[in-house]
Structure 1
Amino acid sequence: MLRTTRLAEGPVEYRLDIRADPVIVVFHGGHLRAGIAVGEDVFAAAGYSVLAPSRPGYGRTPLSTGTTVTGFADVVGDLCAHLGITRVAAVVGISGGGPTAATFAARHAGLVDRLVLISAVGWLPYPDPVTRLGARIGFNGVTGRVTWGLVHALARFAPSMCLRMMMGALSTRPVGEVLAGLDSDARAGLLTLFRRMRSGRGFVNDLRPTPDVTALVDQPTLVIATRTDGGVPFAQSRSLASSIRAAELIESHADSHMVWLGADWPVVGERIVAFLKGTS
């Protein structure tokens, strides 16, 4: 259920799907918020409860609530205390949520058992200067509404064009090959996702530099990525895996940034669950 609570640091929007103890905390990436449960299927299927907060600038979490990655990591620590969560089986960082997840693990080691990073942004320079400038122009608090309005319209009235445009930006492979690998359910799911995505003020905030905490992460860590990711270069995940002491890198053979759409996701998912249970 989607809720908003007010902590000492300010309002926080979150979704808590209660299944069983323990809890998985999921930090989603850019253009997403707590109400969109993308990439969480493996945790739900394994019976874990999921706590997904909207990061600053997304949904109903304002930028003023923990503006920095470090600040928001501590806000979510307070949110866990507020909700009576005393153990987090793993914190998961997907895409742009990677730095917040790693920082949460580093700063709340007594709470967090493990760290999972999926297609995650790390601390190599990212994005390139041209892409960074384009993001600031196209996805700020004003222009983002126009940009996403166009995407939403394409998703409704020209779905094939929308899929080609969006998936072309999320893969290094020819977009025709990427789309050929998607069944009708995956295509429909993507179009629904693209119709719901927003940037708010969060995406430009995500571009701000943040302190590298990889040397401070002591938890067992699983890093999952594909070399054909067109959204976050594979080098980011390779760097995370080499910088975090107890990290293992799993290379997915998915065609795009959204590795959970890959044909090998069931196998990767089994490895994630084994890792969470400490049997891998």
Structure 2
Amino acid sequence: MTASEQDTITARLAAGVVEYRLDGEGQQVVVVFHGGHMRAGLILGEEVFTTSGYRVLIPSRPGYGRTPLATGITPAAFADVTADLCRDLGIGRLAAVVGISAGGRTALTMAARHPHLVERVILQSAVAFLPWPNRRTRLGGRLVFNVSAEAATWAAVRLLMRVAPQAGLRLLLRDLSTRPVRHVVAGLSERDRAELIALFTLMRSGEGFVNDMLAVPDCAGQVTQPALVIASRTDRSVPFAHAESLAATIPGAELVESRADGHMIWFAPDYPAIAARIEEFLTAG
């Protein structure tokens, strides 16, 4: 199914406005913190939870979508906001918090600050507390994804995806994999190519991405919940060292190596096996 914008809701909490989406059925809830350039209305990697009978709560992190940056400028502040949102929605326990890419630090911080609320932690291509991003991405990100430029940047991406989608796909995947981009694109099915093109077309950065690049306090050693860390060695965007760091720091964490050609582990041939491991992890014990 081609990616599309989903309906979202805004809640006004003590800290400010937060945009969110609550999908799926069942009693147990999983919170998903998406990564850079994503917001609550976009879907990525949620099906493994909804098809397993969980509800997914997806908030737009600060600076993305309709969540203002002021609602929670740090991972610690937004972890507290998300805990307040759970209380507001009558959610007293989370089966897991999921941190994807730049959302990893928020997921880890929420687990550390709210252990009574969070049962497990799942990290997918997640940014840890090592220096991130690299100097080239930091400088380029501040240039093309700052709040004054990002609308024009993504308008150019949308135009490229309309007139030359394969070229656009190569352009955006180049920075997500250490492998030659032609091999990365060749390894995708036609369905996956269409899904990625649609997803990239819908992305925006708002004030969020520049904020994501700021250093934050390391709380990985304070995470006591079971943790599943999933990453690929060919990820250029978030090097595999981040996953290794988290697996070494979080007591009892399990590191699962994806065979994906880069950052987008959900589009790899081995993702069904990884999804099965996620399902097992959620029900273990």
Query: TM-score by structure 2 length?
Result: 0.96
Task: Give the paired residue count.
Answer: 279
Q: Deviations over 1:227-264 (max 9, x none)?
A: 01121111111111111112010001011201011100
Question: Which residue is equivalent to 2:97?
Answer: 91
- Is contact 2:24–2:53 with CA below 8 Å preserved after alignment? no
- Is contact 2:131–2:215 with CA below 8 Å preserved after alignment? no
1:145 deviates by 1.1
Letter in 1 for 2:46: E
Tell whether 2:34 aligns with 1:49: no
Distance 1:258 1:39 in 2: 10
- Is contact 2:39–2:60 with CA below 8 Å preserved after alignment? yes
- Look up the SS of the partner of 1:87 in the other structure: coil
Distance 1:263 1:6 in 2: 41
Q: Which residue of 258, 268, 271 maps to 1:262?
A: 268
Question: Which residue is equivalent to 2:218?
Answer: 212
Letter in 1 for 2:216: T
1:45 deviates by 1.6
Distance 1:230 1:130 in 2: 12
1:167 deviates by 1.1
Structure 1 stretches of 4+ with a deviation exceeding 2 A read: none
Question: Which residue is equivalent to 1:77?
Answer: 83
- Look up the SS of the partner of 1:88 in the other structure: coil
Letter in 2 for 1:218: T
Distance 1:188 1:134 in 2: 27
Q: Which residue of 130, 137, 144 maps to 2:136?
A: 130
Question: Which residue is equivalent to 2:25?
Answer: 19
Q: Deviations over 1:177-222 (max 9, x none)?
A: 1111111110110010011000000000111111100111000000
Q: Which residue of 242, 249, 252 maps to 1:236?
A: 242
- Look up the SS of the partner of 1:70 in the other structure: helix
Distance 2:243 2:24 in 1: 30
- Spell out the pairing of 1:142-161 with structure 2 (5 A cutoff): 142-161=148-167
1:130 deviates by 2.5
Letter in 1 for 2:71: T
Distance 1:176 1:210 in 2: 35
Question: Which residue is equivalent to 1:245?
Answer: 251
Tell whether 2:61 aligns with 1:61: no
Q: Which residue of 15, 23, 34 maps to 1:28?
A: 34
Distance 2:111 2:32 in 1: 12
Question: Which residue is equivalent to 2:117?
Answer: 111
Distance 2:46 2:81 in 1: 22
- Is contact 2:24–2:50 with CA below 8 Å preserved after alignment? no
1:133 deviates by 1.2
Q: Deviations over 1:12-55 (max 9, x none)?
A: 00000131120000000000000001111211221210000000
Identity %: 56
Letter in 1 for 2:15: E
Question: Which residue is equivalent to 2:192?
Answer: 186
Q: Deviations over 1:104-130 (max 9, x none)?
A: 011110010000000000011111223
- Is contact 2:144–2:150 with CA below 8 Å preserved after alignment? yes
- Look up the SS of the partner of 2:20 in the other structure: strand
Structure 2 unaligned segments of length 5 or more: list them. Answer: 1-6
